[in-house]
Structure formats: structure tokens, C-alpha cells
């Protein structure tokens, strides 16, 4: 029976990794951390920020509202306070639609 490696999930992500995921500068990640109370990274002894997967989910919501939907920071803050669950559901729908779009574009290239 062959050994099958299980997928490992990281517990913490550095600010550089988070910035790379969203294709933004680390300064924007630090700025959003200060502006939005839902982002609470841990800090190690050196003071480096360590973001949890929950923080990443919150960054996805903020990124979607600010960068993709064009909300102002104040508008994004109030939207998060009003109805965060609805916003998360909308993001999941947008991600699914983007995946379908990518699949269809690949299929079109093959034809």
C-alpha cells in the first residue's frame, strides 16, 4: 500500500504571503489591519505579523468590497457591520462564477 501524503494547511501566514495572495503591497495589508477591527494578527517576539486562515477570510471580504466592488473604506466598514454573512455569500458566488468563466475560456481555447 503506497504512502499517501495528506495536505497540510498552514496555521499562520506572514504578511508577505498574504500580500502575494492578493497581489497587493504589504503596506496595504498593514493599512487594512489598522482600519478594520476584524483583522487581528498574532505577533511573534520580533513583532512580525502572523495571520490566521480566519484573517485571510476577512481579507477576502475586505478585498472584494474595496477592490472588486469599489466601496470606500467607510462603506466597507459599514457593510461589514450590517451584514457580513450576506457579503461572504456574495463572494462565494463571485468566486464560483469566476471558476466557471475560467473553465469556459480554457474549453474555448481547446476548440
Provide the pLDDT for residue 28.
95
> Whole-structure pTM over 0.85, yes or no?
no
Question: Which residues are within 8 A (CB) of 35 and not within 5 positions of it... i.e. 6 or more apart?
Answer: 73, 77
Q: What value does the mean pLDDT take over residues 95-110?
A: 83
Determine, yes or no, domain membership for 96. Answer: yes
Determine, yes or no, domain membership for 6. Answer: no
CATH number at residue 34: 1.10.1660.10
Tens-digit pLDDT profile for residues 21-35: 999 999 999 999 999
Question: Which residues are within 8 A (CB) of 53 and not within 5 positions of it... i.e. 6 or more apart?
Answer: 9, 10, 11, 13
pLDDT higher than threshold 90 for residue 79: no
Determine, yes or no, domain membership for 1. Answer: no
Tell me how many domains the chain contains: 1
Amino acid at each position: 500500500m503506497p504512502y499517501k501524503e495528506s495536505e497540510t494547511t498552514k496555521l499562520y501566514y506572514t504578511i508577505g504571503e498574504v500580500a502575494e495572495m492578493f497581489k497587493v503591497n504589504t503596506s496595504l495589508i498593514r493599512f487594512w489591519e489598522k482600519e478594520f477591527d476584524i483583522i487581528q494578527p498574532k505577533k511573534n517576539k520580533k513583532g512580525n505579523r502572523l495571520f490566521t486562515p480566519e484573517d485571510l477570510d476577512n481579507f477576502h471580504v475586505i478585498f472584494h468590497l474595496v477592490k472588486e466592488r469599489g466601496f470606500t473604506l467607510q462603506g466597507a466598514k459599514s457593510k461589514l457591520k450590517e451584514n457580513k454573512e450576506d457579503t461572504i455569500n456574495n463572494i462565494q458566488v463571485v468566486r464560483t462564477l469566476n471558476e466557471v468563466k475560467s473553465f469556459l475560456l480554457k474549453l474555448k481555447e481547446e476548440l
